[in-house]
Amino acid sequence: MKSVAWSAVPLVLSACSLAQALPSNFQHIVVIVQENRTPDNLFQGLCLPPYGSPSACGTRARQYDIQSFGFDQNGNQVALSPVPLGNSYDPAHTHSDFELMCNPNKTTWFPCSQNTNLATTGCPLNCSFQYVDPNATPTIYPYLYMAQRFGWANRMFQTNQGPSAPAHQFLFGGTSAPSAEDDAAATFVAENPNPLGCLSPLNSIYELIDPAQAPGEFSLVNNPLGTVCFSRDTMASLLEANGLTWRYYTVGWVNQDISSNIWTAPNWIQEICQPNSTFTQCEGADWIDNVDLNPSDVLTDLQSCKLKNMIWVIPTGINSDHPSGNPDISDDGGPAWVANVINAVSNSPCSDTVRRKSVPYWQDTAIIVVWDDWGGFYDHVLPPFLSAPSEGQGDYQLGFRVPFLFVSAYTTRTIDSTNQYDFGSILRFAQKNFGIAEGALGFADARSTTDLRGFYDLRRPPRQFQIPTNVPPEVFLYEQGPAEPPDTD
């Protein structure tokens, strides 16, 4: 999808004061996952004309904590340089890169002392010190609009200190550990396995980390077949146990290559995948019923009244915010994709029966937009660790800041600079909302101390919402060519 210029016409939110009983919870939660950004990198437009103002950013209450400069490994101040969203430079962001960015001089790796730049093949020396220029990429405006009118967290950290595949595991199930026992022992998959999941070929290697060997890693080899087909609870299993439904929208295999997509979190889980005897295909009822390998189906499901209680929405490559050297997937379709998913909720003709009243989707759906990892980009807020080294969860938690947005009919402009959030906070919110004990998984949801209750007030009159974009849903419904994954790292 090529860039479509946005003409900044103000859009006023309409208030709705329908006489309906106050809801006790949301009937639906939509988690939209984007790729590889930090607040300092992606949201400088909040502080810059034409869409933002320098007075909106800083460290005071009710300001966006965005900084336009950083410090390199020698302590020199470096101004962040403007680039378009579709920029092709991709800084490194493995777990070892996290350690290097936290402590470039390697004198200590705890606590995190700074976030500096990395030299990456094909990437300029200071490519970590970049920000998305709203003038070069006006299509970024939907993100800025949401941050200025809905919920924004100044302290949302990715739970893991590494790349996409383990991050998606934390978003889906609160851990990247092979089992509940491994999670309790702070043993996690730390890197992107290639290939991955229950369908991994023989002798595939997963790099793990634990307190005994951190910051070093050790290998888990898929021998015999199925060794890396993990068995543990996820948010999906909690939902099912409580009579609730879920769906995971993601890109399928590209040209039948199972190593081509590292963002399909359910295929790590034996109970969901239930692989065949040769570990080449998922055959489980949960997989067949709840994993949709065409992300744009979320748009049609919202029109045909098929929205599940909780869904995860993963973009295709062309609609991802991930920078890439591939001209087919380095465009700037991400903001329009996210806007269209949210607007599909707002414009849906569907409703639920709540307390014997008909309630439209837009009134009983909470929408979360979150980025899966920091992508190697600079961010000035240093992550807190959950424990000292070799003493528990802090060897792999928490990672750098990522952007976070919360949209609902009961959300007004909210900038939370007080509370610390991570991916476990999202799971805690879902648990609280659906009447499940917070921390019920016993993973990151139990270690987090916050849910998202500060981003909405169900006592407010609901207001309908519409995110501005010049890209119609048909662009996503009828995209041509094979769907590429969001990225490869």
71 vs 128, 139, 379, 400, CA distance in Å? Answer: 11, 29, 10, 16
* Rounded Cα gap, residues 308 and 311, in angstroms: 6
The answer to whether the beta carbons of residues 150 and 338 sit under 8 Å apart is: no
Between 3.30.110, 3.40.720, 3.40.50, 1.10.3470, what CATH number should domain 28-71+134-173+229-477 receive? 3.40.720
pLDDT of 426 reads 98
The model's pLDDT over 393-418, given as tens digits with 9 standing for 90+, comes to 999 999 999 999 999 999 999 999 99
Place of tokens 């929408």: 367
DSSP output for 121-153: TTB-TTTTSEEE-TTT-GGGHHHHHHHHHSEEE
Residue 107 banded pLDDT, cuts 50, 70, 90: low
pLDDT value, residue 16: 44
Residue 10: predicted pLDDT? 40
Query: How much is the average pLDDT of 363-391?
Result: 94
Percent of the chain with pLDDT over 70: 87
3-class SS of residue 109: coil
With contact defined as beta carbons under 8 Å apart, do 311 and 297 qualify? no
Q: Could you state, in order of their start, the residue ranges of all structural domains in the chain?
A: 28-71+134-173+229-477
Nearest Cα to Cα of residue 174 among 118, 220, 238: 238
pLDDT tens-place string over residues 158-172? 999 999 999 999 999
Least confident residue range of 79-83, 225-229, 262-266, 473-477: 262-266
Q: Identify whether 486 is preceded by a cis peptide bond (ω within 30 of 0).
A: no
Choose among 251, 348, 368, 252: nearest CA to 307: 348
What pLDDT is recorded for position 277?
94
Consecutive H or E run containing 296: none
Q: How far is Cα of residue 1 from the mean position of the Cα atoms in its chain?
A: 22
Residue 244 and residue 236 in contact, taking contact as beta carbons nearer than 8 Å: no
The bridge status of strand 188-189 relative to strand 351-354 is unpaired
For the chain, what is the mean pLDDT? Answer: 88
Alpha-carbon gap, residue 383 to 158, rounded angstroms: 9
